[in-house]
Protein backbone atom coordinates (compact mmCIF):
# COMPACT_ATOMS: atom_id res chain seq x y z
CA UNK A 1 0.00 0.00 0.00
CA UNK A 2 1.42 3.35 -0.97
CA UNK A 3 1.89 6.22 1.44
CA UNK A 4 -0.84 8.34 -0.19
CA UNK A 5 -3.34 5.50 0.06
CA UNK A 6 -2.54 4.96 3.73
CA UNK A 7 -2.88 8.69 4.38
CA UNK A 8 -6.35 8.83 2.80
CA UNK A 9 -7.48 5.77 4.72
CA UNK A 10 -6.28 7.44 7.92
CA UNK A 11 -8.03 10.71 7.04
CA UNK A 12 -11.27 8.82 6.43
CA UNK A 13 -10.99 7.30 9.91
CA UNK A 14 -10.27 10.72 11.42
CA UNK A 15 -13.45 11.98 9.77
CA UNK A 16 -15.52 9.07 11.11
CA UNK A 17 -14.29 9.53 14.69
CA UNK A 18 -14.59 13.33 14.79
CA UNK A 19 -17.97 13.35 13.04
CA UNK A 20 -19.27 10.70 15.43
CA UNK A 21 -18.15 12.78 18.41
CA UNK A 22 -19.88 15.90 17.07
CA UNK A 23 -23.09 14.17 16.05
CA UNK A 24 -23.31 12.27 19.34
CA UNK A 25 -23.23 15.52 21.31
CA UNK A 26 -25.50 17.35 18.85
CA UNK A 27 -28.04 14.55 19.24
CA UNK A 28 -27.55 14.30 23.00
CA UNK A 29 -31.25 14.64 23.71
CA UNK A 30 -32.29 13.03 20.43
CA UNK A 31 -30.95 9.95 18.71
CA UNK A 32 -28.08 9.45 21.14
CA UNK A 33 -30.42 9.20 24.11
CA UNK A 34 -32.98 7.16 22.16
CA UNK A 35 -30.31 4.56 21.37
CA UNK A 36 -29.40 4.24 25.04
CA UNK A 37 -33.03 4.20 26.22
CA UNK A 38 -33.82 1.47 23.70
CA UNK A 39 -30.87 -0.43 25.16
CA UNK A 40 -32.23 -0.11 28.70
CA UNK A 41 -30.41 3.00 29.98
CA UNK A 42 -33.33 5.01 31.33
CA UNK A 43 -31.63 7.43 33.73
CA UNK A 44 -31.19 10.68 31.74
CA UNK A 45 -28.10 11.71 33.71
CA UNK A 46 -26.43 8.38 33.10
CA UNK A 47 -27.39 8.53 29.42
CA UNK A 48 -25.92 12.04 29.11
CA UNK A 49 -22.73 10.97 30.88
CA UNK A 50 -22.35 7.94 28.60
CA UNK A 51 -22.87 10.04 25.47
CA UNK A 52 -20.38 12.69 26.63
CA UNK A 53 -17.84 10.02 27.58
CA UNK A 54 -18.23 8.23 24.25
CA UNK A 55 -17.97 11.51 22.36
CA UNK A 56 -14.84 12.44 24.28
CA UNK A 57 -13.23 9.09 23.46
CA UNK A 58 -14.20 9.48 19.79
CA UNK A 59 -12.80 13.02 19.65
CA UNK A 60 -9.52 12.02 21.31
CA UNK A 61 -9.09 9.05 18.97
CA UNK A 62 -9.87 11.18 15.93
CA UNK A 63 -7.30 13.77 16.98
CA UNK A 64 -4.70 11.13 17.81
CA UNK A 65 -5.19 9.50 14.42
CA UNK A 66 -4.75 12.91 12.82
CA UNK A 67 -1.62 14.08 14.62
CA UNK A 68 0.11 10.91 15.84
CA UNK A 69 -0.53 8.04 13.40
CA UNK A 70 1.53 5.31 15.01
CA UNK A 71 0.96 1.63 15.64
CA UNK A 72 -0.16 2.17 19.26
CA UNK A 73 -2.83 4.68 18.23
CA UNK A 74 -4.18 2.37 15.51
CA UNK A 75 -4.22 -0.47 18.02
CA UNK A 76 -5.99 1.66 20.62
CA UNK A 77 -8.57 2.76 18.04
CA UNK A 78 -9.12 -0.88 17.07
CA UNK A 79 -9.60 -1.94 20.70
CA UNK A 80 -11.98 0.94 21.43
CA UNK A 81 -13.98 0.20 18.27
CA UNK A 82 -14.22 -3.47 19.23
CA UNK A 83 -15.26 -2.56 22.78
CA UNK A 84 -17.91 -0.11 21.63
CA UNK A 85 -19.17 -2.69 19.14
CA UNK A 86 -19.54 -5.26 21.91
CA UNK A 87 -21.36 -2.76 24.15
CA UNK A 88 -23.66 -1.73 21.31
CA UNK A 89 -24.31 -5.39 20.50
CA UNK A 90 -25.26 -6.12 24.11
CA UNK A 91 -27.50 -3.04 24.36
CA UNK A 92 -29.07 -3.33 20.92
CA UNK A 93 -28.19 -6.43 18.89
CA UNK A 94 -30.80 -5.37 16.33
CA UNK A 95 -28.34 -2.72 15.11
CA UNK A 96 -26.59 -5.52 13.21
CA UNK A 97 -29.75 -5.76 11.09
CA UNK A 98 -30.15 -2.02 10.49
CA UNK A 99 -30.26 -1.22 6.75
CA UNK A 100 -27.67 1.59 7.10
CA UNK A 101 -25.30 -0.71 8.99
CA UNK A 102 -24.25 1.21 12.10
CA UNK A 103 -22.45 -1.88 13.40
CA UNK A 104 -21.64 -3.73 10.18
CA UNK A 105 -19.55 -0.72 9.11
CA UNK A 106 -17.22 -1.54 11.97
CA UNK A 107 -16.01 -4.63 10.11
CA UNK A 108 -14.28 -2.69 7.29
CA UNK A 109 -13.19 -0.01 9.76
CA UNK A 110 -11.53 -2.73 11.82
CA UNK A 111 -9.81 -4.15 8.75
CA UNK A 112 -8.49 -0.70 7.77
CA UNK A 113 -7.22 -0.12 11.31
CA UNK A 114 -5.56 -3.53 11.35
CA UNK A 115 -3.82 -2.90 8.01
CA UNK A 116 -2.67 0.58 9.04
CA UNK A 117 -1.46 -0.74 12.38
CA UNK A 118 0.54 -3.54 10.75
CA UNK A 119 2.12 -1.15 8.23
CA UNK A 120 2.97 1.66 10.64
CA UNK A 121 6.29 2.08 12.37
pLDDT band at 32 (very low <50, low <70, confident <90, very high): very high
Per the CB < 8 A criterion, the answer to whether 21 and 80 are in contact is: no
pLDDT value at residue 2: 81
Nearest-5° angle of CA 98, CA 110, CA 6?
125
- In 3D space, the residue among 80, 72, 76, 30 whose CA is nearest the CA of residue 53 turns out to be 80
Mean pLDDT of 3-26: 96
| Total structural domains within the chain | 1
User: For 35-74, what is each residue's pLDDT tens digit?
Assistant: 999 999 999 999 999 999 999 999 999 999 999 999 999 9
pLDDT band at 3 (very low <50, low <70, confident <90, very high): confident
- In 3D space, the residue among 60, 76, 87, 64 whose CA is nearest the CA of residue 113 turns out to be 76
For the beta carbon of residue 1, count every other beta carbon within 10 angstroms: 9
Q: In the predicted model, is pLDDT for residue 121 greater than 90?
A: no
pLDDT band at 13 (very low <50, low <70, confident <90, very high): very high
- In 3D space, the residue among 30, 20, 9 whose CA is nearest the CA of residue 108 turns out to be 9
* Coil, strand or helix at 2: coil
Range of the domain at 20: 3-119
User: For 68-96, what is each residue's pLDDT tens digit?
Assistant: 999 999 999 999 999 999 999 999 999 99
- In 3D space, the residue among 28, 37, 16 whose CA is nearest the CA of residue 112 turns out to be 16
Q: In the predicted model, is pLDDT for residue 31 greater than 90?
A: yes
Spatial distance between the Cα atoms of 13 and 17, rounded to a whole number of angstroms: 6
Amino acid sequence: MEYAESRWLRYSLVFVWLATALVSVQELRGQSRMLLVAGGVTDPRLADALVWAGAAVDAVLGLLLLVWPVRRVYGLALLVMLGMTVVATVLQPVLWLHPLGPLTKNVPIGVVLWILMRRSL
